[in-house]
Amino acid sequence: MHSLICLQRGQLEYREMEIPFAEPGHALLKIKRIGICGTDLHAYEGKQPYFNYPRILGHELAAEIAVINDSNEFSAGDAVTIIPYYSCGKCIACRKGKTNCCAVIKVCGVHIDGGMAEYFSVPVEYIIHGDGLSYDELALVEPLSIGAHGIRRAAIEPGEFVLIIGAGPIGLGLMEFARIAGAEVIVTDINETRLAFCKEHLKVKHTINGAMENVMERLRTLTHGDMPTVIIDATGNRNAMIKAFEYVAHGGRYILVGLQKEELHFSHPEFHKREATLMSSRNATKEDFAYVMRCMKQGLIKPSTYITHRTSFNKIKEEFAGWLDPANGVIKAMVEME
């Protein structure tokens, strides 16, 4: 089968490999769609802290079951997606139901090889039935679930001002689920094309271009002097993450969905006097996946609008670097498998 391997920073290579064997408890999936994630792009750039080379990328997947044994829930030919975070089931996080932050988690395409190949073998427990959703939609369930999980962590109350920093695919999901939770959403980014996308397709009323506007002044005006009670970073940009500590309202919460390799620093007196809450949000749980799929089926979100670029598997290598260039206007690139 054809596969694509990230050999080292900035280097991709196609290779022929044996089709995986569908061992007991696993299903052999024929990949139909691969969403290109920020994690894939950061791994290619050498900016992913949990990554090691060489590695087959790809964890935003839609597939058809090719082979499955001894399952009452699934059959060959079923359309599925996967939960790409393999957990141990035994550590303290898993025992508390937080499988998304398992102490020895193995994320497909990061810690172990992913699905950027024609076929992929997956433990049955991590397969999610497509339930009538299209392959495009199924490939977007995982990134949207990360947004849904972040909003669940934030415990948003209706009417709260929520500032989402970063209008990439993860940020879009955060916006959608913050809106569904009843928030007054504010978005800041330095890419005017992405901000325009948020206005047009997600109906976000309040956008701030951090490269052209005074973010602090705009936030004070929009929140009537209070500042946002919820701040969520979806950039992973160190400077943006540090700067956002200044935006937190007294009594507010700051949730880090974006991931940074380096240390962060902030003024403890300023943070302390606000009695602010700082938390991270990592991956998602099966509950989040189910919620996202319900929202899709109910028409509360229309993720197909996020797909701005499409390509075939045999063109990924030549097009991959271009998806990193803001000038190309990429929101979500989708790979279609023949």
Question: Average pLDDT in the 282-301 region?
Answer: 97
Question: Each residue of 131-170: pLDDT tens digit?
Answer: 999 999 999 999 999 999 999 999 999 999 999 999 999 9
Do residues 191 and 171 make contact, with C-beta atoms less than 8 angstroms apart?
Answer: no
Q: Is the dihedral of CA 5, 11, 12, 17 positive or negative?
A: negative
Query: Is pLDDT above 90 for 327?
Result: no
Bridge partners, residue 2, by sequence? 16
Q: Report how far apart, in Å, the C-alpha atoms of 309 and of each of 5, 89, 198, 320 are.
A: 21, 37, 17, 11
Query: Is pLDDT above 80 for 338?
Result: no
Question: Average pLDDT in the 209-215 region?
Answer: 96
* pLDDT score recorded for residue 38: 85
What is the SS3 assignment for 160? coil
Domains of the chain in start order, with CATH, are: 2-130+302-336 (3.90.180.10), 145-280 (3.40.50.720)
Q: Over the range 288-299, which residues count as b (16 or more CB within 10 Å of their CB) and which as e?
A: bbebbbebbeee
Rounded Cα distance, 143 and 301, in Å: 13
Positions of E strands within the chain: 2-8, 11-16, 26-35, 55-56, 60-68, 79-82, 85-86, 106-107, 119-123, 127-129, 161-165, 184-189, 206-209, 230-233, 253-256, 277-280, 307-312, 332-336
Query: Is pLDDT above 80 for 271?
Result: yes
Query: Is pLDDT above 80 for 331?
Result: yes
HSE, side-chain direction, 13 A CA sphere, residue 84 = 33
The DSSP annotation for 175-202 comes to HHHHHHTT-EEEEEES-HHHHHHHHHHS
Q: The tokens 């951090």 sit on which residue?
A: 210
Structure tokens at 41: 């792009």
Starting from the edge strand earliest in sequence, which strands make up the sheet with 11-16, in order?
A: 11-16, 2-8, 55-56
* pLDDT score recorded for residue 255: 98
Q: Which among 161, 159, 122 has a CA at the least distance from the CA of 253?
A: 161
Specify the pTM. Answer: 0.94
* pLDDT score recorded for residue 304: 85
Tell which phi-psi region holds residue 77, choosing left (phi > 0), alpha (psi between -120 and 50) or beta: left
Q: How far is CA 15 from the centre of its chain?
A: 27
Question: Average pLDDT in the 48-74 region?
Answer: 91
Q: The tokens 């380096």 sit on which residue?
A: 262
Query: Is pLDDT above 90 for 46?
Result: no
Helices 135-154 and 286-297: angle between axes, nearest 10 degrees: 120
Query: Is pLDDT above 90 for 48?
Result: no
* pLDDT score recorded for residue 50: 83
Do residues 204 and 188 make contact, with C-beta atoms less than 8 angstroms apart?
Answer: no
Tell which phi-psi region holds residue 224, choosing left (phi > 0), alpha (psi between -120 and 50) or beta: left
